[in-house]
Chains A and B, each alone.
Chain A
Amino acid sequence: MQAIKEYRRIAVFGGIYNNALALEAMLEDVYKREVEAVFCLGDMGGFGPHPDRVFPLLKAAGVLAIQGNYDESLALGKGDCGCGYTDPRDNFFARVSYEYTFQNTSLNNKAWLGRLPKQRRIRLGPLQVSMCHGSPRTINEFLWESSTPNGLVQKFLRHGGTDVLLCTHTGIKWQRRLPEGKHLVNVGVIGRPENDGQTNVWYTILTAGDDLQVEFVPVHYDHERLALEMEQEGLPPEFIETIRTGWWTTCMEILPAKERRRGKY
């Protein structure tokens, strides 16, 4: 069994969604912040243009990644992204996004995605930290702030024998501190803005201390260039609107009322 590696300060992000421009900007920002390692919690593809541009950046930066549901689907050649939408409008856009990404991701990169682990475990100072994409039990489970009761978080932490649980998948960051120094942190995504009318995206820096320090870091990137590239690739105007305005326009079914209320649509 591999020994669990210990760090003091790390950067963690999720959901690249083919957004190589945001990834590049995020990595530049990370270099200034003296972290020991950078982790990605999966979903490299979907939504944006030119999927293959993401992989050289991840490899060159030595990012330690795990698989998201999108990565699992691409690697296994599945017919859809595995988000499990039931709403026909959401399904339509999910299909457009997945088919574009599937056709434009090389076989080598699909194979690389297939070799990624599903979860990781590290130590951050005295704290045991577990990383997953959706939830510890299901790769595509959505853990929204308003849909994740404390009893469920405590169950995940207890079963995993861990102090801190890191996840992504929803597209909106949040954190919760529980009794006895336990934490859940949804690290957010860098692939698209988080439905707040702002065009920036977010990643997370975690620092060990007496208690865990959680810092959400905004990343501003050339989103107009991304929008133009998406137009050139013939991606749906609804996706491009999100990049330009910061409001989600598709895949709304998955949002609980509290999170949906904050958006425009």
Chain B
Amino acid sequence: MSTPVSPFSYLSTLWVQLTGTWCNLQCVHCINASGPKNPWLKSLDPKTVKRSIREAETFGVKEIYFTGGEPFLHEDILDLLAFALQAAPTTILTNGTMINGTVADALAALASQTPYSFEIRVSIDDIDAEQNDRIRGKGAWAKALKAIQLLHARGLLPILTATEPVHQSLSEESGLYTRFRNFLLSLGIDKPRVKIIPIFPIGRMAVVGAPLLTEEVLQGFDFSLLQCSETRVVADGGIYSCPILAGLAEARLSEESLQDSFKPCRLYHPACVTCYHTGMTCKNF
């Protein structure tokens, strides 16, 4: 049985896997098993990041995303965000624990200096501190919440991002979205923004023997619904097909050049099944 492939349409989104799997937290559901010790995927140097952004700009990239690990651990993060924001709308995905008043001020300054949208996604997995910290580590909830409030106070409208523990489809009935929305409103955050993402069978949630996509299942499927049809990721070691699989040898499409990565990619991983079922996109919208 051959592995199905997803065609490449055009480059809409560039992801920068900035800090590899280096993170100050060690969440139980982390897609790439990030943590503070011995990251298996290294951080990127600023030269590589800027080269990829410049190249992406020549191909009309629409959005740039920074992720990790925890991207605020990178010493050049503010400079790199400023660079990206001159090229295209930019989003950073963070656990929020490193955003204090000084960092929030710097982010507000970046937002005011760009014509493009600057989005900050802060991860929280439960409105209850104890439940959240069971997943994300002790003290994570309070720090992330503080970050959301600091950003809100500066008009930055952070997007609270929560992981829903389902594999097949994002459930409206679970009420997770409404709980978070009401929670933010109760804190006086009058423009609440919430994004729910599913659990992926990868990283710390890898499932042995999890199902894979087949060509039979994908008969007549609209591949434009898969983010790998218009997304590429720069991470240590080269250019990869999607942010979930960044750093994995089988998802690597080129060594350095974005253009060389503009080719069909193999839907070889159980995580591809989650995207197929949920219509999952790592993008904000």
Are A and B subunits of one complex?
yes
Taking the nearest CB of chain B, how far is it from the CB of A186, in angstroms? Answer: 15
Central interface residue in B61, B89, B157, B196, by most chain A CB within 10 Å: B89
Interface string of B193-237 (1 = CB under 8 A from A): 111100000000000000000000000000000000000000000
Assuming A86-B285, A87-B194, A88-B177, is B118 touching A257 (CB within 8 A)?
Answer: yes
Q: Give complex CA distance A148, B115 in Å.
A: 10
Taken residue by residue from 8 to 25, chain A's Cβ proximity to chain B (1 for < 8 Å, 0 otherwise) reads as: 000000000000000000
Q: Encode B166-182 as 1/0 by CB contact (under 8 A) with A.
A: 00001010000110010
Whether A261 contacts B88 in the complex (CB less than 8 A), given A149-B61, A149-B116, comes out as: no
**Complex contact B172–A91 (CB within 8 A):** yes
**A88-B172, A256-B119, A265-B190 known; A151 and B57 CB under 8 Å?**
yes
A87 and B177 within 8 A (CB): yes
Question: Which B residues are CB-close (under 8 A) to A239?
Answer: none
- Which A-chain residue is minimally distant from B88 (CB atoms)? A149
* Contact (A149, B157) CB under 8 Å given A87-B194, A89-B177, A265-B190: no
Task: Identify which of B10, B88, B115, B196 contacts A151 (C-beta below 8 A).
Answer: B88
Contacts of A151 in B (CB 8 A): 57-61, 87-88
**Measured between alpha carbons, how far is A84 from B284 in the docked complex, in Å?**
12
Task: Considering the complex, give the chain B residue whose CB is closest to the CB of A159.
Answer: B60
B contacts, CB < 8 Å to A: 10, 57-63, 87-89, 111, 115-119, 155-157, 170, 172, 177-178, 181, 190-191, 193-196, 279, 281, 284-285
Chain A, residue nearest B114 (CB)? A146
* A114-151 vs B, Cβ < 8 Å mask (1 yes, 0 no): 00000000000000000000000100001011111101
- Is A216's beta carbon under 8 Å from chain B? no
- Quick one: closest B residue to A155, CB to CB? B60
Given contacts A88-B172, A256-B89, contact A154 B177 (CB under 8 A): no
Would you list the 6 A-B pairs with minimal beta carbon distance, nearest first? A155-B60, A256-B117, A146-B117, A149-B88, A88-B172, A152-B60
Q: In the complex the two chains form, what is the Cα distance from A260 to B61 in whole Å?
A: 22
Using CB atoms, name the residue of chain B closest to A154: B60
Known: A86-B285, A88-B177, A88-B178. A260 touches B57 (CB 8 A): no
